[in-house]
Amino acid sequence: MKKNANEVSRRDFLKSGAIAAGAIAVIGAGTFVLDHEAAKSMPREGFLRPPGAIEEEDFLYGCIKCGLCVQICPVHAIKLAGAHEGLGYGTPYIDPREQACDFSCDALQCVETCPTSVLDFKQFKETGLRAVEAAAAEPGVDMSQVNPFEVQKVAMKNAVKIGKAVVNKHTCLAHAGKPFKGVSRGTDFSGILRSPNDVNSSATPLRDREYDQDICHLCVTECPIGEKAIVQVRNRNGRKLIPRVLDGCTGCGVCEMVCPTEHASIVIEPF
Protein backbone atom coordinates (compact mmCIF):
# COMPACT_ATOMS: atom_id res chain seq x y z
CA MET A 1 0.00 0.00 0.00
CA LYS A 2 1.23 3.48 -0.88
CA LYS A 3 2.25 5.55 2.18
CA ASN A 4 1.44 9.22 2.41
CA ALA A 5 4.19 11.84 2.55
CA ASN A 6 3.89 12.34 6.30
CA GLU A 7 4.31 8.67 7.11
CA VAL A 8 7.39 8.38 4.90
CA SER A 9 9.04 11.53 6.28
CA ARG A 10 8.33 10.48 9.86
CA ARG A 11 9.93 7.05 9.36
CA ASP A 12 12.93 8.69 7.69
CA PHE A 13 13.19 11.13 10.57
CA LEU A 14 13.00 8.38 13.21
CA LYS A 15 15.60 6.35 11.33
CA SER A 16 18.00 9.29 11.05
CA GLY A 17 17.36 10.14 14.72
CA ALA A 18 18.26 6.59 15.75
CA ILE A 19 21.47 6.71 13.68
CA ALA A 20 22.40 10.09 15.24
CA ALA A 21 21.68 8.79 18.74
CA GLY A 22 23.79 5.70 18.06
CA ALA A 23 26.68 7.88 16.89
CA ILE A 24 26.40 10.03 20.01
CA ALA A 25 26.42 6.91 22.19
CA VAL A 26 29.60 5.64 20.49
CA ILE A 27 31.34 9.01 20.69
CA GLY A 28 30.29 9.40 24.33
CA ALA A 29 31.17 5.82 25.35
CA GLY A 30 33.07 7.11 28.42
CA THR A 31 30.00 8.75 29.90
CA PHE A 32 27.69 5.93 28.74
CA VAL A 33 28.85 3.62 31.52
CA LEU A 34 28.13 6.21 34.23
CA ASP A 35 24.75 7.17 32.77
CA HIS A 36 23.82 3.51 32.40
CA GLU A 37 24.30 3.06 36.15
CA ALA A 38 21.97 5.98 36.79
CA ALA A 39 19.38 4.53 34.40
CA LYS A 40 19.26 1.27 36.38
CA SER A 41 17.85 3.11 39.35
CA MET A 42 14.93 4.59 37.38
CA PRO A 43 11.85 3.19 39.05
CA ARG A 44 9.51 2.92 36.08
CA GLU A 45 9.35 1.87 32.48
CA GLY A 46 9.13 4.76 30.05
CA PHE A 47 9.46 8.47 30.64
CA LEU A 48 7.17 10.53 32.80
CA ARG A 49 6.83 13.54 30.52
CA PRO A 50 6.03 17.10 31.69
CA PRO A 51 2.36 18.23 31.73
CA GLY A 52 0.62 18.53 28.38
CA ALA A 53 2.97 16.16 26.55
CA ILE A 54 1.45 14.90 23.33
CA GLU A 55 1.53 11.21 22.32
CA GLU A 56 5.04 9.75 22.84
CA GLU A 57 5.98 9.05 19.24
CA ASP A 58 4.94 12.54 18.16
CA PHE A 59 6.71 13.98 21.21
CA LEU A 60 10.00 12.34 20.18
CA TYR A 61 9.49 13.62 16.65
CA GLY A 62 8.64 17.19 17.63
CA CYS A 63 10.68 18.07 20.74
CA ILE A 64 13.69 20.17 19.69
CA LYS A 65 15.45 19.56 23.06
CA CYS A 66 15.78 23.27 23.67
CA GLY A 67 15.48 22.82 27.45
CA LEU A 68 13.22 25.86 27.94
CA CYS A 69 10.78 23.76 29.99
CA VAL A 70 13.70 22.72 32.22
CA GLN A 71 14.73 26.32 32.82
CA ILE A 72 11.26 27.68 33.55
CA CYS A 73 10.12 25.09 36.11
CA PRO A 74 10.27 26.80 39.54
CA VAL A 75 10.87 23.55 41.44
CA HIS A 76 13.36 22.13 38.90
CA ALA A 77 11.28 19.02 38.38
CA ILE A 78 12.22 18.58 34.72
CA LYS A 79 15.47 16.97 33.55
CA LEU A 80 16.86 16.14 30.12
CA ALA A 81 17.49 12.47 29.33
CA GLY A 82 21.10 11.28 29.00
CA ALA A 83 22.90 9.81 25.97
CA HIS A 84 22.02 6.22 26.98
CA GLU A 85 18.37 6.94 26.14
CA GLY A 86 18.93 6.58 22.36
CA LEU A 87 16.19 8.38 20.49
CA GLY A 88 14.94 9.94 23.73
CA TYR A 89 18.34 11.60 24.29
CA GLY A 90 17.94 15.24 25.33
CA THR A 91 14.17 15.07 25.81
CA PRO A 92 12.59 16.31 29.06
CA TYR A 93 11.26 13.99 31.75
CA ILE A 94 10.34 14.06 35.44
CA ASP A 95 11.74 11.76 38.12
CA PRO A 96 9.29 12.48 40.94
CA ARG A 97 11.22 10.49 43.54
CA GLU A 98 13.85 13.25 43.28
CA GLN A 99 11.56 16.20 42.60
CA ALA A 100 7.84 16.10 41.89
CA CYS A 101 5.90 18.51 39.70
CA ASP A 102 3.93 19.95 42.63
CA PHE A 103 2.09 22.64 40.63
CA SER A 104 4.02 25.41 42.38
CA CYS A 105 4.10 27.31 39.13
CA ASP A 106 1.53 29.94 38.31
CA ALA A 107 0.26 28.70 35.00
CA LEU A 108 1.88 25.47 33.82
CA GLN A 109 4.84 27.52 32.60
CA CYS A 110 6.54 24.53 31.00
CA VAL A 111 3.54 24.16 28.67
CA GLU A 112 3.38 27.88 28.07
CA THR A 113 7.06 28.16 27.19
CA CYS A 114 7.35 25.16 24.86
CA PRO A 115 8.04 26.62 21.38
CA THR A 116 6.97 23.52 19.48
CA SER A 117 3.72 22.74 21.35
CA VAL A 118 4.78 19.17 22.08
CA LEU A 119 3.72 20.33 25.54
CA ASP A 120 0.29 21.51 24.55
CA PHE A 121 -2.43 23.55 26.27
CA LYS A 122 -5.14 22.01 24.07
CA GLN A 123 -5.69 19.25 26.63
CA PHE A 124 -6.59 21.79 29.33
CA LYS A 125 -8.05 24.75 27.47
CA GLU A 126 -11.65 23.54 27.31
CA THR A 127 -11.60 22.55 30.99
CA GLY A 128 -10.31 25.98 31.95
CA LEU A 129 -12.90 27.84 29.89
CA ARG A 130 -15.73 25.63 31.21
CA ALA A 131 -14.62 26.35 34.80
CA VAL A 132 -14.82 30.11 34.19
CA GLU A 133 -18.28 29.73 32.63
CA ALA A 134 -19.41 27.57 35.57
CA ALA A 135 -18.10 30.15 38.06
CA ALA A 136 -19.99 32.92 36.24
CA ALA A 137 -23.19 30.84 36.28
CA GLU A 138 -23.09 30.30 40.07
CA PRO A 139 -26.08 32.05 41.66
CA GLY A 140 -25.12 35.22 43.50
CA VAL A 141 -21.51 35.28 42.25
CA ASP A 142 -20.14 38.73 41.48
CA MET A 143 -17.64 38.09 38.69
CA SER A 144 -15.99 41.46 39.32
CA GLN A 145 -14.73 39.87 42.57
CA VAL A 146 -13.49 36.69 40.86
CA ASN A 147 -10.17 36.39 39.06
CA PRO A 148 -11.05 34.31 35.96
CA PHE A 149 -7.37 33.59 35.33
CA GLU A 150 -7.11 32.00 38.80
CA VAL A 151 -10.25 29.89 38.22
CA GLN A 152 -8.92 28.77 34.85
CA LYS A 153 -5.49 27.98 36.29
CA VAL A 154 -6.79 25.79 39.10
CA ALA A 155 -9.10 23.91 36.73
CA MET A 156 -6.31 23.35 34.22
CA LYS A 157 -3.91 22.02 36.85
CA ASN A 158 -6.56 19.59 38.07
CA ALA A 159 -6.99 18.42 34.48
CA VAL A 160 -3.31 17.54 34.00
CA LYS A 161 -2.69 13.84 33.42
CA ILE A 162 0.95 12.85 33.48
CA GLY A 163 0.37 9.37 34.85
CA LYS A 164 -1.30 7.65 37.75
CA ALA A 165 -0.01 6.67 41.18
CA VAL A 166 0.13 2.97 42.06
CA VAL A 167 0.58 1.71 45.66
CA ASN A 168 2.86 -1.24 46.41
CA LYS A 169 0.94 -2.94 49.20
CA HIS A 170 3.90 -5.21 50.00
CA THR A 171 6.05 -2.31 51.20
CA CYS A 172 3.50 0.38 52.13
CA LEU A 173 3.59 1.16 55.87
CA ALA A 174 -0.19 1.64 56.03
CA HIS A 175 -0.82 -1.79 54.58
CA ALA A 176 1.34 -3.15 57.41
CA GLY A 177 -0.59 -1.05 59.96
CA LYS A 178 2.56 0.96 60.76
CA PRO A 179 3.04 4.59 61.88
CA PHE A 180 5.47 7.15 60.55
CA LYS A 181 7.18 9.72 62.72
CA GLY A 182 9.98 12.07 61.62
CA VAL A 183 11.39 13.59 58.44
CA SER A 184 10.24 11.48 55.53
CA ARG A 185 13.30 11.45 53.23
CA GLY A 186 16.01 12.50 55.68
CA THR A 187 17.62 15.84 56.39
CA ASP A 188 19.86 15.69 53.28
CA PHE A 189 17.01 15.40 50.83
CA SER A 190 16.76 18.45 48.55
CA GLY A 191 13.19 18.04 47.23
CA ILE A 192 10.74 20.90 47.76
CA LEU A 193 6.95 21.18 47.73
CA ARG A 194 4.13 23.57 48.40
CA SER A 195 1.58 23.00 51.13
CA PRO A 196 -1.67 21.63 49.68
CA ASN A 197 -3.49 23.83 52.23
CA ASP A 198 -1.86 27.03 51.03
CA VAL A 199 -1.74 27.10 47.26
CA ASN A 200 -0.46 30.66 47.25
CA SER A 201 2.67 29.86 49.23
CA SER A 202 5.97 29.01 47.58
CA ALA A 203 7.56 25.59 47.75
CA THR A 204 9.64 24.79 50.86
CA PRO A 205 12.06 21.91 51.59
CA LEU A 206 10.50 18.58 52.48
CA ARG A 207 13.28 18.13 55.05
CA ASP A 208 11.73 20.98 57.09
CA ARG A 209 8.51 19.00 57.64
CA GLU A 210 8.14 16.58 60.53
CA TYR A 211 5.31 14.08 60.58
CA ASP A 212 3.71 12.14 63.39
CA GLN A 213 1.12 9.76 62.01
CA ASP A 214 -0.22 6.71 63.90
CA ILE A 215 -0.87 5.10 60.54
CA CYS A 216 1.28 6.42 57.70
CA HIS A 217 -0.65 8.46 55.15
CA LEU A 218 1.91 11.04 54.05
CA CYS A 219 0.89 10.44 50.46
CA VAL A 220 -2.68 11.48 51.32
CA THR A 221 -1.62 14.44 53.49
CA GLU A 222 0.63 16.03 50.87
CA CYS A 223 -1.34 15.35 47.68
CA PRO A 224 -1.91 18.78 46.08
CA ILE A 225 -5.12 17.59 44.40
CA GLY A 226 -6.72 16.20 47.55
CA GLU A 227 -9.63 13.82 47.95
CA LYS A 228 -10.38 13.60 44.24
CA ALA A 229 -6.99 11.95 43.80
CA ILE A 230 -6.17 9.91 46.91
CA VAL A 231 -8.00 9.04 50.13
CA GLN A 232 -7.56 6.85 53.21
CA VAL A 233 -10.04 3.97 53.23
CA ARG A 234 -10.59 0.89 55.40
CA ASN A 235 -9.35 -2.37 53.95
CA ARG A 236 -11.71 -5.30 53.31
CA ASN A 237 -11.81 -6.57 56.89
CA GLY A 238 -12.03 -3.01 58.20
CA ARG A 239 -8.94 -3.33 60.39
CA LYS A 240 -6.52 -1.12 58.45
CA LEU A 241 -6.58 2.36 56.98
CA ILE A 242 -4.84 2.29 53.62
CA PRO A 243 -4.31 4.81 50.77
CA ARG A 244 -6.51 4.44 47.68
CA VAL A 245 -5.71 6.28 44.45
CA LEU A 246 -8.73 7.64 42.56
CA ASP A 247 -9.33 8.76 38.99
CA GLY A 248 -8.61 12.41 39.88
CA CYS A 249 -4.91 11.57 40.33
CA THR A 250 -2.87 13.71 37.95
CA GLY A 251 0.39 11.79 38.30
CA CYS A 252 2.16 14.82 39.77
CA GLY A 253 4.37 12.53 41.84
CA VAL A 254 4.29 14.39 45.16
CA CYS A 255 3.21 11.14 46.88
CA GLU A 256 6.18 9.31 45.37
CA MET A 257 8.55 12.04 46.54
CA VAL A 258 7.29 12.12 50.14
CA CYS A 259 6.80 8.37 50.72
CA PRO A 260 9.19 7.48 53.58
CA THR A 261 9.96 3.83 52.74
CA GLU A 262 13.44 3.08 51.35
CA HIS A 263 12.08 2.55 47.84
CA ALA A 264 8.88 4.48 47.23
CA SER A 265 5.78 2.44 48.04
CA ILE A 266 3.76 4.59 45.67
CA VAL A 267 5.09 5.25 42.18
CA ILE A 268 3.78 7.02 39.11
CA GLU A 269 3.08 4.95 36.04
CA PRO A 270 3.26 7.20 32.96
CA PHE A 271 0.28 7.33 30.59
Interacting residue ranges for ligand SF4, rule: CB under 6 A: 63-69, 92, 113-116, 118-119, 165, 167, 172-174, 216-219, 223, 225, 229-230, 243, 245, 249-255, 259, 261, 265-266, 268
* Long-range CB pairs of 77-83, under 8 A, 24+ apart, other chains included: 77/50, 77/101, 77/102, 77/253, 78/50, 78/110, 81/47, 82/31, 82/35, 82/38, 82/39, 83/21, 83/24, 83/25, 83/28, 83/31, 83/32, 83/35
For the bound state, the minimum distance from the C-beta of residue 161 to ligand SF4, rounded and expressed in Å, comes to 10
By C-beta, is 172 or 203 nearer to ligand SF4?
A: 172
Of the chain, the end-to-end C-alpha distance in Å amounts to 31
For the bound state, the minimum distance from the C-beta of residue 140 to ligand SF4, rounded and expressed in Å, comes to 31
For the bound state, the minimum distance from the C-beta of residue 1 to ligand SF4, rounded and expressed in Å, comes to 33
For the bound state, the minimum distance from the C-beta of residue 110 to ligand SF4, rounded and expressed in Å, comes to 7
For the bound state, the minimum distance from the C-beta of residue 7 to ligand SF4, rounded and expressed in Å, comes to 23
By C-beta, is 82 or 251 nearer to ligand SF4?
A: 251
Phi, psi of 78, deg, nearest 5:
-100, 135
CB 227 within 8 A of CB 243: no
105/88 Cα distance (integer angstroms): 26
By C-beta, is 25 or 54 nearer to ligand SF4?
A: 54
By C-beta, is 146 or 166 nearer to ligand SF4?
A: 166
